[in-house]
Structure formats: C-alpha cells, structure tokens
Structure 1
C-alpha cells in the first residue's frame, strides 16, 4: 500500500462512508503515522458511538493497519450542524468573521 496521507484518508472516508464533511490531520509531523479526524456522515444516523467507530474501522481497515495511531470523531450531519451552531465564539476578536464593535 502507498504512503498514507491526509488527502488519501480524506478521499477514502468520503467515498467509503458517504461523508459530507471530513477533516483529517496528520499528528505525526508529516511522517504519516498518526492521524486524527472528524467524519460527518449520514450513515452514522441511529448508531451509537461504538458502532460508528466499528463502521469507520472496517471501511479503513487497510489504511489503519498501515499507520501507528488513529482517532476519529464521528457525527451525523445534524450533530455537526448543532455543534457548529453552539460553538464558542472565536478568541481572535471576531464574530462571524467580523471584528466585534465595528461595521466591518
């Protein structure tokens, strides 16, 4: 199997799990041995956390076998939308991309 990358994992997750949003981060400094991910897929609907992770691990069994560490956060589209709507405000002084207290 070729080297595992953020892009290759993102593509595999999107195709195999019908994901509508995927974030993959190489936590190993670029050597491709440790990844963390956020996977948003309608296939997770009505599944508890353990079954969601089993679904992901089955879909990515070859990729996971080739790396050292793997972490996945699995959400349905509704859960993802709700989390984004209730996310804490940015600490960079902006609200919705605009500096608070200005008309910009």
Structure 2
C-alpha cells in the first residue's frame, strides 16, 4: 500500500527570482536515494532536501524532507501532488513515501 504523510515544513529565506541553487547530494546515498534526490533538485531547486530509505535498505519506503520557494502559497496537498508527479516512475516500484 502506498501512503503519504502530510506535514508542513517552515520555509526559510527567499531565493531571488531567476537564481537557481543546487543542493549537492550527500555522500553515501543509495542508487534509489540519489535518483530521487536528483529529480527533486532539478524540478524544485530546494533550499533543503533530504532523502532517506527508511525501509532498512531495500528501497521500498522513502522519507523526503523538502523546502522550496516553488511551494510558497500552495496547500500541503498540492505540494505533495507536485512531488508525486515528479517521482511518478519511482513511486510505481515502492510501497511508501513520506514527504515532510
């Protein structure tokens, strides 16, 4: 079963319009974590992004913490739908995704 935990992340300082930032992936990510990290970075230019396989390393449940100006003014449900759309392919092969 696929589930999404709804939570709101408090946004920090604004990034000037037109300025893309890149959050370098931390070392030691699994292939699945790195794929998700890169897709979300490309689409949302997040100020904060953490991707963790919380399934014990088998790649079936991921926790994502993301903060981006792209989400400003949008409901949490809309934000989660946007993340789900970007990760549509990956979601097909996993059991759960927690977006915070």
TM-score grouping bracket, smaller chain normalisation: 0.5 to 0.7
More helix per residue: 1 or 2? 1
Deviation of residue 5 (structure 1)?
A: 1.4
Larger CA Rg, structure 1 vs 2: 1
TM-score using structure 2 length? 0.65
Question: Does structure 2 retain, via aligned residues, the 8 Å contact 1:24–1:36?
Answer: yes
**1:4 offset after TM fit, Å?**
5.6
Higher normalized strand content (fraction of residues):
1
- Check if 1:6 corresponds to 2:33: yes
Q: Which runs of 5+ in 2 are unaligned?
A: 1-29
Higher relative contact order (CA 8 A, sep 6+): 2
Aligned residues: 71
- Matched with 2:47 is 20
Shift >6 Å, 4+ stretches: none
Query: Which sections of structure 1, spanning at least 5 residues, go unmatched?
Result: 74-104
* CA RMSD, 1 decimal: 1.5
